[in-house]
Amino acid sequence: MSDTVKVELADGLLRLTLNRPDKLNAFNDAMHLALRAGFQRAHDESEVRAVLLTGAGRGFCAGQDLGDRDPRKEMAPDLGRTIETFYNPLIRLIRSLDKPVICAVNGVAAGAGANIAIACDIVLAARSAKFIQAFSKIGLVPDSGGTWSLAQVLGEARAKALALTAEPLTAETAASWGLIWRAVDDAELMSEAEALGRRLAAGPTFGLGLIKQAIQAAAGNTLDQQLDLERDLQRQAGRSADYAEGVLAFLDKRQPKFSGR
């Protein structure tokens, strides 16, 4: 795998670190492919029970590498193709992964970088980090699910203002608006994110995957449909080894040892 993404697996937690720090971890093709391979590994390997996504250096991710979009070198590239080839499959991989994905936003998250962070399940951000819908500054439209997630979470007024103005959103405001889980002191970010990742990786993975599925389905369901879905998912969860272990551990007054199944 390319060194544009550092990949480390420990205690069930797959840590993926975007690694082009001199470009604030902007995406070139190699980084697109490496990140996708990392998430694919999380899908494929049962030893992976949670993912932690972060960035190397002072930024999280500055979106697409604009050096690869220099109009003096290539006229009118088909951006729809890059979206179809790279960004859309990545967002689908993150959302469909039946394991928790934590994002530790260590610095600026701009363009697709902001929306990839927002697509993760639990987002912690360093207090100094900013989220920028940078697209309108260069005449583009927010992608990587940004128009969907901003509108869903923040509503039209805030979604439109952020996207139309490209004004930076601080981590604190992002947390107070419910766009991310928590803003934490810069020095605490990685230890908090690692601790959370390891805790989730030791959890009842099958059940956690069902929780993610249910909550993601809610936006497109009526209450009746969601009640039916909860019944079906609870039926599956109730047959899992981790449910039996969870109940036994409670009755025995000890900590559960979940296998993830």
Residues in contact with 95: Cβ distance below 8 Å, sequence separation at least 6, in sequence order? 119, 216
Asked if 101 interacts with ligand T3D (CB under 6 A), we say: no
Asked if 36 interacts with ligand T3D (CB under 6 A), we say: no
Instruction: Kindly tell me which residue out of 17, 54, 82, 149 binds ligand T3D, with binding defined by CB under 6 A.
Output: 82
SS3 22: helix
Asked if 33 interacts with ligand T3D (CB under 6 A), we say: no
What is the rounded distance in angstroms from the CA atom of residue 12 to the CA atom of residue 152?
A: 31
Instruction: Kindly tell me which residue out of 43, 45, 47, 66 binds ligand T3D, with binding defined by CB under 6 A.
Output: 66
Piece in contact with ligand T3D (CB under 6 A), picked from 38-46, 65-73, 176-184, 249-257: 65-73
| Structure-block tokens of residue 226 | 């969601």
Asked if 132 interacts with ligand T3D (CB under 6 A), we say: yes
What is the rounded distance in angstroms from the CA atom of residue 196 to the CA atom of residue 183?
A: 14
Asked if 65 interacts with ligand T3D (CB under 6 A), we say: yes
**Pair 102, 200: CB distance under 8 Å:** yes
User: Do the strands 108-110 and 59-61 form a parallel or antiparallel pair, or are they unpaired?
Assistant: parallel
Piece in contact with ligand T3D (CB under 6 A), picked from 29-37, 119-127, 137-145, 230-238: 137-145
| Structure-block tokens of residue 175 | 């947390």
Closer CB to ligand T3D, 139 or 220, in the complex: 139
| Structure-block tokens of residue 241 | 């080894």
Query: Which residues of the shown chain bind ligand T3D in the complex (CB under 6 A)?
Result: 23-24, 26, 62-67, 69, 79, 82, 108, 110-112, 132, 134-135, 137-138, 140, 143
